[in-house]
Amino acid sequence: MKSNATILGPISESSIELPFYNCRVPAGFPSPALDHMDQPLSLDVLMHVDAPHTYLVLASGDSMTGVGIYDDDVMVVSRKLDAKPGHIIIAFLNNEHCVKRLAKRGEQFVLESENPLYRPRFIMEGDEFDVWGVVTGNLRRFVHG
């Protein structure tokens, strides 16, 4: 299994607040009501950062595009949450990190991609397997550099 996650490191709490506009912006035509600034909002609150239990991971590859995780996205990961079937997790499997959906088929755990081009990976006896955290959010940059 090719690694598709790079650990960037833990994040700390921030006191920076950004303006939050309490209106939905249509993806089609502009709205004339974009001047409804409500209150400042911290990215910590928005992304549920619970330092020091939260860290960032850089995604690589296309195995999770079905859930909106693309190459070079930055995933927000909680080590505080217990991983359950259905969660998207950062796993350490046989000396490689990966991001996959945790599933259970019968009594066996499975790591599933969210791209039909990739087959599920059953966790077998003898595999070195550990859950490093649950993905709670995803940050995508549209301008790089």
Tell me the backbone φ, ψ of residue 104, rounded to 5 degrees: -135, 125
Catalytic option among 3, 12, 60, 100: 100
Model confidence at 127: pLDDT above 60? yes
Task: Report pTM.
Answer: 0.74
Nearest to 56 by CA among 142, 144, 141: 141
38 Cβ neighbours under 8 A, 6+ residues apart: 20, 21, 22
Catalytic option among 2, 12, 42, 63: 63
**Prior bond to 52 cis, omega within 30?**
yes
Residue 5 pLDDT level (bands cut at 50, 70, 90): low
Average pLDDT of span 124-143: 91
Whether 12 is a known active-site residue: answer: no
What is the rounded average pLDDT for all residues in the chain?
A: 81
Q: pLDDT digits over 43-95, tens only? A: 666 666 777 778 888 899 999 999 999 999 988 888 889 999 999 999 999 99
Whether 63 is a known active-site residue: answer: yes
